[in-house]
Amino acid sequence: MPYADPESDDPQELVGVELPGSEAQTREMAAAFAEEFAQLGYTRAQILALYRRAEYAGAHRAWRLLGEDQIVRVVDESLAVWGRIRRVVIDAPACGAPDPPTWVRRRS
């Protein structure tokens, strides 16, 4: 977004052309983001923030086109499947530690 206001008599002024789209594509995109981040272990509030914040323009575009209610439904559907489990990562000890390993760090 340019900082200055548009000047209609400026021949160098940016001209915007809108590409068309379909609701089905937007819905699929919204579902993809919700499923991916639910799999990563993000919470409902964190995933919804992804859609509500303008910085994340892809997800935010879906939120603006589909509305809050549809996005909430998509997120809840995804969390109903992927949110029921929690993945944990267990790091192996650093080189030189006794073998067999004793687990030194556990992440979730």
Chain contacts with other proteins (rule: CB under 8 A): 1-6, 14-21, 25-26, 28-29, 31-33, 35-37, 39-40, 50, 54-59, 61, 64-65, 77-78, 80-81, 84-92, 94-96, 101, 108
Element containing residue 37 per DSSP (H, E): helix 23-39
Q: How many CB atoms lie within 10 A of CB 72?
A: 16
- Closer residue to other proteins (CB): 44 or 58: 58
Question: CA-based diameter of the chain, in Å?
Answer: 75
- Compute the least distance from the CB of residue 68 to other proteins, in Å: 14
Pick from 22, 24, 27, 29: nearest CA to 56: 29
- Compute the least distance from the CB of residue 45 to other proteins, in Å: 16
